[in-house]
Amino acid sequence: MTTMKLPPLLQDDPPTLADRAYLSLREAIVEGTLAPGMKLSERGLAAMLGVSPQPVREALRRLEGEGMAESRPRSGTYVAELSIDRLLEMGRIRSALEGVAAGIAARRRTPIDIAALRARLIAVQSASASGDERRLAAVNASLHETLHAITGNALLIRSLQAVNAYYHISTRVILTSKYEVSASLAEHSAIVAAVIDGDPETAEALMRAHTGRSVDVAAIELAR
Amino acid sequence: MTTMKLPPLLQDDPPTLADRAYLSLREAIVEGTLAPGMKLSERGLAAMLGVSPQPVREALRRLEGEGMAESRPRSGTYVAELSIDRLLEMGRIRSALEGVAAGIAARRRTPIDIAALRARLIAVQSASASGDERRLAAVNASLHETLHAITGNALLIRSLQAVNAYYHISTRVILTSKYEVSASLAEHSAIVAAVIDGDPETAEALMRAHTGRSVDVAAIELAR
DNA sequence: ATGGCCAAACTGCTATCGCAGTTTAGCAGT
DNA sequence: ACTGCTAAACTGCGATAGCAGTTTGGCCAT
């Protein structure tokens, strides 16, 4: 057998119970079903989800690591309280990480990645024209996630997922005004162009400005 | 009883077995005892550490979340392989996060924080003059950690700890040349001054430049 | 000597149980 | 009616056991 390099045989990843519990709880927190300050009992949640406390415990620790839950040593785990300040901080962290991700993506993108980015961008354009806000939000997220995936950096991807979840808790519907839609589309186009061109500095600067602007918009909304 | 606001009664946090396992394993990975690619068996490590597999499992998932370990679905967990590219990516992430942290610290610092920062800076100056590299590295880390703590942002602190651990794997001794020592000291002084002045933009830019330069130095070292 | 197969050992994952510490509800005393 | 104590219920944490799937070492046939 020659020592040749092969791709790692990507196999479908049957999600574990802990993974599913994590996703379920995170969604509940983001959606507001589990309100901030509410207690997250291992046994109680386990009973609701129909699993044993063990996977729930793992999910809680993960949420805690992502800042969406807080644990008092021997008392319990609670849904993290969120303040406007904290939310804006998360927005800044998100902005910095998205910028770095765009820069790395501009360095590493392959022809396949470029094709994927073009496809996502077309989908964003289509959704922008349609006026369907939910679809637009979905394809926008998909575009960002495509950029994340191109970095191939597990820690970066994970951090971005965490901060995005947290950040989106109370910024669900920012993309409403026509101005926002057209501005966002133009920015996305420019970012993708810079990544395709392999220009890390420009890609990072544009992405940072793009996401930073959304923080400002959120701040204005929240201050009202 | 009136509804008055009280600080949360900080009590000593007896570290859990999972915490200790995590610290132990992380140190072993950073130090190289657990080499990249090596298998991390829950039961095996549990026997070595004298605990049950359960806390070890939790520690492994945490390491995995921080990018220091990788897990193949039903095969095992392994120490993450590290490449120069990946290390530089981590350096960029670190730089971005440290910058954000410095900016947030400049917004939130209290008089007590300012006193703490001044004390740390004096310690750094003292250690720089002494020529004791280990002590200098320790007080430098302490200065950075003080800034992290001032942000009060759990997710940010956690992310920084993770990326710092990863980043320091093969950059243990950068601070050797006299030039590095004096340049680093000057930069630290300027950063602390900006934070104390409450100037977020300057603090972030200086911190980003400071940490970004250390990435470049590391890259030069590694390329030799 | 080489290729294929199979069983034993090992893997991560989940369930169940027990422990020490915390919270809480209710009772007793004023 | 209010305070102070106590016991029962609940909490997270850890240990142990069992399951299904994976890996591995060795045996047999070629």
* B93 and B188 fall within a common domain: yes
CA of B146 to C1' of D24 (A): 50
Whether B65 and B95 share a structural domain: no
User: Mind listing the pLDDT tens digit for each residue in A179-212?
Assistant: 677 788 999 999 999 999 999 999 999 999 999 9
Question: A88 and chain B: CB distance < 8 Å anywhere?
Answer: no
Q: Quick one: pLDDT at residue A100?
A: 96
Number of Cα atoms under 13 Å in the Cβ half of residue B192: 25
Same domain, residue pair B92 and B28: no
**Beta strand pairing call for A39-40 and A76-79:** antiparallel
Burial (CB < 10 A; 0-12, 13-18, 19+), residue B122, is exposed
Q: Answer yes or no: is B7 within a domain.
A: no
Contact (CB<8Å) A14/B158 = no
Query: Do B21 and B52 belong together in one domain?
Result: yes
C-alpha B113/C-alpha A122 separation (Å) is 49
Which of A66-70, A157-161, A217-221, B21-25 has the weakest average pLDDT? A217-221
Nearest to B96 among A67, A99, A153 (CB): A99
HEC string for A165-193: HHHCCCCCCCCCCHHHHHHHHHHHHHHHH
Domain enclosing residue B177, as ranges: 84-223
Shared domain check, A192 and A89: yes
Q: Is B6 among the domain residues?
A: no
Domain CATH code at residue B130? 1.20.120.530
Mark whether A126 and A152 lie in a shared domain. yes
The pLDDT > 70 percentage for chain A reads 88
Residues A15-34 pLDDT 10s: 889 999 999 999 898 888 88
Distance, Å, A78 CA → D9 C1': 19
Q: What CATH number does residue A36 fall under?
A: 1.10.10.10
Residue A68 sits in the same domain as residue A88: no
| Mutation site, B92, B109, B211, interface A, largest A CB count within 10 A | B92
Those residues of chain B that have pLDDT short of 50 are 2-3, 173
Question: Among B53, B79, B105, which residue terminates a domain?
Answer: B79
Examine the fold and report which residue of A79, A103, A125 is the final residue of a domain before the chain moves on. A79
Residue B12 lies in a domain: no
Whole-number pLDDT of residue B102: 97
A197 Cα to chain B: minimum distance (Å): 19
Statement to judge: residues B194 and B155 lie in one domain: yes
Residue B2 has a pLDDT of 47
- Our measurement of CA A52 to C1' C16, in angstroms, reads 9
Q: Which of A92, A94, A148 is the best mutation test for B, with the most CBs of B within 10 A?
A: A92
**Tokens standing for A160?**
């971005």
Higher pLDDT, A170 or B204: B204
Strand order in the sheet with A39-40: A39-40, A76-79, A69-72
Residues β-bridged to residue A72: A76
Same domain assignment for residues A110 and A208: yes
Looking at the DSSP bridge assignments, the partners of residue A40 are A77
Tell me: the pLDDT tens digits for B154-209? 889 988 988 888 777 655 545 555 567 778 899 999 999 999 999 999 999 999 99
**How many domains does chain B fold into?**
2
A88 touches strand C (CB under 7 A): no
CA B64, distance to chain mean position in Å, is: 16
Which helix (DSSP H) or strand (DSSP E) does residue B161 occupy? helix B154-167
Domain assignment present for A4: no
**Nearest neighbour of A100 by CB, restricted to B13, B73, B92:** B92
